[in-house]
Amino acid sequence: MMRIKCKFIIGIVLIVLMLSVGIAYGQGNEYTDPQGRFSFNLPTGWKAAVPYDSAQAAYFVYAVQQGNVGELIIMIEELPFSASIDQYAAASEENGFKQLPGYIPGTQLPATVFGLPAIKKNFTFSPQTELTLQSEAFIFISGNFAYTILLDILPDYFAQTEPGFSQAVASFKVQGGALVAVQPAPQPTPTTQPVPIIPTPTQPTPVPSIPVIPAQPAPPTPAPTIATTPIQPPVTSGMNIYTDPQSRFSFNLPAGWKTAVPYDSIQAAYFNYSIKQGNIGEFSVLIAELSSIISIDQFAEEFNDTFKQQIPSYIPGTQLPTTIFGLPAIKKNFSFNRQTGVTLQAEAYMFICGNSAYTMLLIALSDYFAQVEPGFSQAVASFKVQGGAPVAVQPAPQPVVPVVPPVSTTSVIPVQSPATAGMNIYADPQGRFSIPIPTGSTTAQTTEMGVILNTPDGAGIVAMYTQGEQYVQGMVAQIKPNHQFHGQSQLQAGNKQALVELYSAVNSQNNINYATVVVTYPGTPFVIIVTVPADKYNQAQPWIQEMIKGISIR
């Protein structure tokens, strides 16, 4: 069993005020909608309250001694027509979030809720002068209904309540029963029982000189009646592109983070975040070479086991599936104590590309986590592996004369007679699909969604049974901006139609032009991506067509 080398000993000066209000994550009761539409685990500290608007299917408040400091809202909207999660999120942004006073959008990342493609949005807004609220929303579509799970809270309490909120989202289940059509648009300030939000006197106040990097956008919130210490607007500009000196990866480094000398050999890059009193957090990019083929879930389990062994105070938090660089990934939150009374909050994104496992790790003082996490999420969203395995999405192409023969947009890809004698069958272990592949192909990586294969002629095959057609569309959308499009055609694959699109891109690391064939099957969550050196594309066409036509999807 592979073990991950971890020495997460933070060499920073911790000059902070301790939190006086805590929350027990993972402890709570299951909440079931009275109409039987959904259920989830309600975190400790949240109390059911009477909704103040018909848009709210459920409404909860979080209180401290001085009063309520936040709200958790479930909203459901019946869709009059079919829409993707991206389309719905865009409409919510224009018609809902932007209408909030002082609205400042933050990050937006793909996620999953109840096994369905979702969008996680963070944002801040100011319902009144010198009062800022921090929000996080998860949005997904099930059937003809769009669900929004929303957290609105004072920034001082965001870091305490967000992990419990994320756990609630991870446990969310859609149940049977009649759904009530409601509109998830931000509402005006409620006229009955507004949420009195008062910060605890001993609660640490963010250093005024530190700008808050916003989180992602979300829906409505009542306006508090008592102002608290304002936090400066989030910084979304000022990012610089950081490129690894060994050209292994690049990403947008958020403002405020400074490059520092790594203190361990596993750190491919290391950065710290400082305020006047000293460093309050670190951001590391870790790369582990894999000695054997493992899935991202196995790697995440190893990560978890290693922390448990090396850090006695380790407290695991949420773990959610996501994507990075178009590849399956895992987002993990946890906390631990560096010394008595000092809690550090951490967030890690992990994914596997080729024979390397990448981990982007944020560790920060709990008081400052809410300020630096959104910028960290933006860095993760921009992360690109350079010169990676050709089965991954290629880096941005250089201007070259395309080697790949153009494909007619109306005719089928020209191919030779299928060479059935040179094909074997790959069967998905979970029984979701089987595909013909060239004899001699080897497995490079298996994931929960499918497999990555390498063929004898140097091609890469990605076959994935995803969480839905929207997920497939998201994968294809990541390819399009960095590739030159040559055309599309259709093939009959049994009782299904296959949509075949041809692209090309030059790998800037080895200056090789690759042809990328993207195959989707409308009405299914299945996708095939074939990447082959362009000078071998003609010879590969027979087995590519045989594979496309011979697919069997459950």
Please tell me what DSSP assigns to residue 514: E
pLDDT at residue 283 is higher than 60: yes
> In whole angstroms, what is the distance from residue 325 CA to residue 396 CA?
12
- Segment 466-512, tens digit of pLDDT: 878 877 877 787 777 778 888 888 888 777 888 888 888 887 657 78
Per-residue pLDDT at 172:
93
Per-residue pLDDT at 176:
57
Please tell me what DSSP assigns to residue 51: -
pLDDT at residue 148 is higher than 90: yes
If phi over 0 gives left and psi between -120 and 50 gives alpha, with beta otherwise, what is residue 546?
Answer: alpha
- Give the count of beta carbons closer than 10 Å to the beta carbon of residue 399: 6
Per-residue pLDDT at 322:
85
- 137 pLDDT tier (thresholds 50, 70, 90): very high
Compute the CA torsion angle 115, 116, 119, 122 (nearest 10 deg): -40
Question: 395 CB contacts (<8 Å, ≥6 apart)?
Answer: 384, 386, 387, 482, 505, 507, 508, 509
pLDDT at residue 389 is higher than 70: no
Q: What backbone phi and psi angles, to 5 degrees, belong to 402?
A: -60, 135
Of 194-203, 356-365, 438-447, which gets the smallest average pLDDT? 194-203
Nearest-Å Rg of the Cα atoms of the chain is: 25
- At CA 362, angle to CA 358 and CA 364, rounded to 5? 165
Tokens 């074939």 correspond to what residue? 530
pLDDT at residue 242 is higher than 80: yes
| Residue bearing the bigger pLDDT, 508 or 276 | 276
Q: Among residues of the chain, what percentage have pLDDT more than 70?
A: 76
> In whole angstroms, what is the distance from residue 83 CA to residue 143 CA?
10
Q: What backbone phi and psi angles, to 5 degrees, belong to 332?
A: -130, 135
pTM: 0.36
The three-state DSSP-derived secondary structure of 463-493 is EEECCCHHHHHHHHHHHHHHCEEEEEEEEEE
Residue 345 · residue 338 · CB < 8 Å? no
> In whole angstroms, what is the distance from residue 71 CA to residue 441 CA?
54
Please count the helices (runs of H) and the strands (runs of E) in the chain: 6, 30
Mean pLDDT along residues 317-333: 85
User: Please, what sign has the CA dihedral across residues 110, 113, 118, 123?
Assistant: negative
- 89 pLDDT tier (thresholds 50, 70, 90): confident
Closest CA to 153 of 73, 98, 76: 73
Mean pLDDT along residues 128-144: 86
Per-residue pLDDT at 509:
59
Per-residue pLDDT at 278:
76
Six-digit token string for 321? 């599936």
Partnered with residue 123 across adjacent β-strands are 105, 135
pLDDT at residue 377 is higher than 60: yes
The three-state DSSP-derived secondary structure of 110-159 is EEEECCEEEEEEEEEEEEECCEEEEEEEEEEEECCEEEEEEEEECHHHHH
Six-digit token string for 19? 């939190």
Per-residue pLDDT at 400:
30
Residue 355 · residue 287 · CB < 8 Å? no
CA atoms within 13 A on the CB side of 183: 8
- Segment 19-39, tens digit of pLDDT: 222 223 334 688 999 888 999
Q: What backbone phi and psi angles, to 5 degrees, belong to 263?
A: -105, 5
| Residue bearing the bigger pLDDT, 243 or 206 | 243
Q: Provide the 3-class DSSP secondary structure of residue 294.
A: coil
CA distances from 292 to 289, 356, 357, 446, 450 (A): 9, 10, 11, 11, 17
Tokens 């008592």 correspond to what residue? 226
- At CA 448, angle to CA 446 and CA 451, rounded to 5? 30
Of 2-6, 10-14, 238-242, 321-325, which gets the smallest average pLDDT? 10-14
- Segment 459-478, tens digit of pLDDT: 899 898 887 887 787 778 77
Q: What is the mean pLDDT of the chain?
A: 73
Domains of the chain: 28-174 (3.40.1000.10), 240-385 (3.40.1000.10), 420-553 (3.40.1000.10)
Question: 476 CB contacts (<8 Å, ≥6 apart)?
Answer: 501, 518, 520, 527
Please tell me what DSSP assigns to residue 482: G
- Give the count of beta carbons closer than 10 Å to the beta carbon of residue 175: 11
| Residue bearing the bigger pLDDT, 263 or 108 | 108
- 179 pLDDT tier (thresholds 50, 70, 90): very low
| Residue bearing the bigger pLDDT, 341 or 50 | 50
Mean pLDDT along residues 37-48: 91
Residue 370 · residue 162 · CB < 8 Å? yes
pLDDT at residue 149 is higher than 90: yes
Bridge-based pairing of strands 526-533 and 267-275 is: unpaired
